[in-house]
Structure 1
Amino acid sequence: MYIGPKPGGIGADLRLAHIDHCAFDGLSAFNDRDRTYFSHLWELFGLPWEDAYLAGRRTTFHDMIGPMLGRLGPLAGGFDAAVLASSTPDAEPGFPLPFLDLPLGGIDTVFAVSDQGAAGAFTALRLTATTLPAGSHGRALVLVMDQATVWQGPPVPEDMRPTRDMAVALVLDRDGALGAPRVRQHTRVSTSDIITLLRAEAEEAGAVTAICRPALAPYWAKAGVSADVLPVPAGLPCAGPWVTLSQHCANLPETSDRRIVLADYDPRLGYLSLCRLDTAAV
């Protein structure tokens, strides 16, 4: 363990430079090694095993990483850090992010954020922007992924169960034209608190474009906020808001200012996550 002064964050002045998303569909099948590994693991924990668990196809996080890097083109390189956010575990045992090292020509820091439900992507972006040690490139990559293959085990709430395979890539650097992400995460939030927190966010931001799930949309009006609310696609508990952001940014004129607020609420955990992007005219 290293104990010393807190390092300066690479994210102190990082801005969103690029965002892209891509849907996938069952790229790979399970193999005999998977059957051996997972059946023994289930036995170890006293869980009933069925070979039918491996009958379908899957799109692992590793399967998605290569194509997403390809979509980034010349932007896929020179990162100080890469962070993966997901709401459910990977369908393949292992650690997908180390595979980034070779195609990216080396990378200092990689880690993942999971088991936080809808808050995971917000946490990944907040950590990337505020706590990672300074690097020579001043660039970071955040990958937000959902995969439809969810292992049998403790029940996953329906709204947290992905039904599609989707990946979103967010590239941050010091000159990004899509705004500096300002992430605020509130805990122990009841539904009665949401109005107050959204109103406070809007009072600071002014008129906004809001991105949120249908259950959260009415709270903007209840808070008296002037907001154009963009819907989030169903079946994507982690990637959903960021898919909408990617679609929205692709259609934005380059000569207009815009304030965008992404919001997601998990009533079971009591997390309200907000991310504001104040994009200056370019």
Structure 2
Amino acid sequence: MRTFVPHRPGDRVPADWGVRRAVRLAFPDSAALAGDPQHTERLRVYLADLLRPYGLGLEAGALERGGQSYGEMAEALIRLAVPEGESVDLLVLAYCVPDITPGRATTTMLSHVCPGGPMAFAVSDQGGAGAFTALRLIRAYAGSAGLPRALLLVVEQPALPYDPRVPVALPAAASGVALLFGEQRPGERPVRLGPVVTRARSSAASLAAECAALGGGPGPVTAVLGAALAAGTPAPAGVRHVRAADPGRPGTGVWWELAGELAEPPAEPCRLVLADHDTGALSLAVFDVGAEVRPDALAAARGRLR
């Protein structure tokens, strides 16, 4: 077995390293695999064996309700997020709810599907903090392990065919978000990744203090808050806009809103602060969006390089 980890703190990324593309997709239909009776029967046996020692069982008819496969969802996101002719060094999949293909090593499969054959792994069982953890790992690998071209995939699907006996926020539908990281190319608007933190045992009320500690940004600040956090938290001082994530997307909500913001960013530089609160932990990620790259400015820059 080979272990490959960052060998020092990973904030030493190039000055123009950040988000190059942001894609979001909804998956309203079940995966084709969910309609395969042989797969359904194998999944029934597998889950029943896992649940039996804990005194749990499958809900009647649960597997017939369908579900999604993160492998298929991720393939669709990769096709849209990775430009033709480019490759990726690192792929990280973040999710909270298991999918309907537990026998598949999904990230190993995605390493073969994604251009570049990237190193790939998953982050799970962290609730809303999972994608933030994945983001810190991506920056660490980019800064110290020579893997600057990275793809973050945040996915969720609603089919959980048993009662876990603990409070679980299930999504209303399947959805996914892809963020492509790397050095900005000519004509791309710079979106630099700032601090990414998770504070264990923090309360939602500490959001204002965390935002204040971040200091000023390049322009107006928009806070993108998880649904539970937005419901009980006043707008922090210095924040011009607050956008609340859809409560039907407990895992992808803030990332879904981020992709929407980056699709139509304001003309002026701005700061986007993502924040989510789950199981006693407060997670934040900062994205500083630079000035819009105008076609005339790009043409002038190209002329100076000739």
TM-score range, shorter chain: 0.7 to 0.9
Aligned to 1:111: 121
Alignment partners' CA distance in 2, 1:192 and 1:45? 36
- The residue identity in structure 2 corresponding to 1:197 is E
How far does residue 182 in structure 1 lie from its aligned partner after superposition?
2.5
Q: For residue 270 of structure 2, what is the aligned residue in structure 1?
A: 258
Q: Hey, what does 2:13 align to over in structure 1? A: 12
How far is the alpha carbon of 1:164 from its aligned partner? 1.1
TM-score by length of 1: 0.85
Equivalent pair of 1:220/1:227 in contact (CA under 8 Å): no
Counterpart in 1 of 2:303? none
Q: Which runs of 5+ in 1 are unaligned?
A: none
Give the CA deviation at 1:280: 1.8
1:134 is matched with 145
Residues 154 and 54 (structure 1), Cα distance of their counterparts in 2 relative to 1, 3 Å cut = same
In terms of mean alpha carbon deviation, does 102-111 or 51-60 score higher? 102-111
2:240 to 208, 219, 227: 227
Equivalent of residue 88 in structure 2, options 79, 86, 103: 79
| Corresponding position of 2:297 | none
Q: Are residues 53 and 190 of structure 1, via their aligned partners in 2, closer, same or farther at CA, if it must alter by over 3 Å? A: same
What is the alpha-carbon distance in structure 1 between the residues aligned to residue 123 and residue 261 of structure 2?
25
| TM-score normalised according to structure 2 size | 0.79
How many positions carry a matched residue from both structures? 275
Q: Which residue of 2 aligns with 1:42?
A: 51
Q: 1:52 aligns with which of 61, 64, 71?
A: 61
CA shift for structure 1 position 154:
2.1
CA offset digits 1:180-236 (Å, max 9, x no partner): 2421221121244333223323x4336301111344346353x42332011211211
Indicate the larger mover: 46-55 or 58-67.
Answer: 46-55
Q: Which of structures 1 and 2 has the bigger CA Rg?
A: 2
- State the Cα deviation string for residues 252-276 of structure 1 (Å, max 9, x = none): 25x521111111112xx32111111
Aligned-partner residue type, residue 31 of structure 2:
L
2:203–2:282 Cα contact (<8 Å) kept: no
Residue number among 211, 217, 220 corresponding to 2:224 in the alignment: 211
Determine whether 1:33 maps to 2:30. Answer: no
- 1:143–1:170 contact (8 Å) kept in structure 2: yes
Moved over 4 A (4+): 1-5, 7-11
Q: Secondary structure at the match of 2:285?
A: strand
Aligned-residue offset at 1:105: 4.4
Q: 1:67 to 1:47 in 2, by over 3 A?
A: same
Could you tell me whether the CA contact under 8 Å between 1:211 and 1:232 is conserved in 2?
yes
State the superposition RMSD in angstroms: 2.7
In structure 2, the CA distance between the partners of 1:156 and 1:60, relative to structure 1 (3 Å rule), is: farther
**Percent identity for Structure 1 against Structure 2:** 32
- Cα 1:190–1:61 change in 2 (3 A) is same
Which ranges of structure 2 fall in alignment gaps of 5 or more residues?
294-306
